[in-house]
Structure 1
Amino acid sequence: MTGGPASGMPRLLRAGMGAAAVGLLLIYNSVDTEPSTDAAASEAAPPAAAAPAVPGPPAASPPPAAAPAAPGAAVPGAAVLKRAAPVRLKIPQIAVDAPFTELTLSPAGQLNAPPPDDKNLVGWYRDGVTPGERGSAVVAGHVDTTKGPAVFLLLSLLLPGNKIEVSRADGTVAVFSVDTVETFAKDAFPDQKVYGRTTDAQLRLITCGGTYDKKRLDYLDNVVVFAHLESSHKA
Structure 2
Amino acid sequence: MTRDISRMPGRALRVPALVVAAALFLSGCAAAPSGDVSAPEATQSPAAAAETTPAAPSEAATPAPETQPPSGAGGVEVMPEGIEPTAVSIPAIDVEDTLIDLGIAADGRMEVPVDFDEIGWFTGGGKPGGRGPTVIAAHVDGLAGPAAFFRLDELAQGDVVAVTDAAGGVTNYEVTEVVTVEKADFPTARVFGAVPGDELRLITCGGYFDRDVGHYDKNVVVFATAVS
Same fold, judged at TM 0.5 (above):
yes
What value does the CA root-mean-square deviation take over the aligned residues?
3.1
Structure 2 distance, partners of 1:28, 1:80, is 28
Change (3 A) 1:97 1:60: farther
Unaligned runs of 5+ in 2: 29-37, 54-63, 72-77
Q: Please identify which structure carries the higher helix content.
A: 2
| 8 Å CA contact retained: 1:16, 1:109 | no
Within the alignment, does 1:106 sit opposite 2:105 as a pair? Answer: yes
Match of 1:213 in 2: 210
Structure 1 distance, partners of 2:162, 2:122, is 18
Correspondence list, 1:15-54, <5 A? 18=7, 20-23=9-12, 24=16, 25-26=19-20, 27-29=23-25, 30-31=27-28, 33-35=39-41, 42=45, 46=47
Of the three residues 171, 176, 179, the one matched with 1:174 is: 171
Q: How many residues align?
A: 193
- Code of the residue aligned with 1:173 in structure 2: it is V
Correspondence list, 1:1-235, <5 A? 18=7, 20-23=9-12, 24=16, 25-26=19-20, 27-29=23-25, 30-31=27-28, 33-35=39-41, 42=45, 46=47, 61-62=66-67, 65=70, 82-115=81-114, 117-119=115-117, 121-231=118-228
Structure 2 distance, partners of 1:103, 1:122, is 9
Unaligned runs of 5+ in 1: 1-11, 53-58, 67-78
Structure 2 distance, partners of 1:160, 1:80, is 25
- Normalization by structure 2: what TM-score? 0.73
Q: In the TM superposition, what is the alpha-carbon distance from 1:125 to its structure 2 partner?
A: 1.5
| 8 Å CA contact retained: 1:104, 1:112 | yes
Q: In the TM superposition, what is the alpha-carbon distance from 1:81 to its structure 2 partner?
A: 5.3
Match of 2:34 in 1: none
Change (3 A) 1:195 1:208: same
Q: In the TM superposition, what is the alpha-carbon distance from 1:18 to its structure 2 partner?
A: 4.4
| 8 Å CA contact retained: 1:92, 1:163 | yes
| 8 Å CA contact retained: 2:135, 2:202 | yes
Q: Please identify which structure carries the higher strand content.
A: 1
- Code of the residue aligned with 1:102 in structure 2: it is D
Output one character per residue of 1:48-81: Cα deviation in whole Å (capped at 9) or x when no partner.
77xx9xxxxxx97326659xxxxxxxxxxxx955
Structure 2 distance, partners of 1:33, 1:17, is 19
Bigger mean CA deviation after superposition, 211-220 or 19-28: 19-28
Change (3 A) 1:222 1:64: same
Structure 2 distance, partners of 1:90, 1:47, is 26
Change (3 A) 1:85 1:159: same
Q: In the TM superposition, what is the alpha-carbon distance from 1:184 to its structure 2 partner?
A: 1.1
Structure 1 distance, partners of 2:108, 2:5, is 7
Q: In the TM superposition, what is the alpha-carbon distance from 1:220 to its structure 2 partner?
A: 0.7
- Code of the residue aligned with 1:22 in structure 2: it is R
Change (3 A) 1:94 1:81: farther
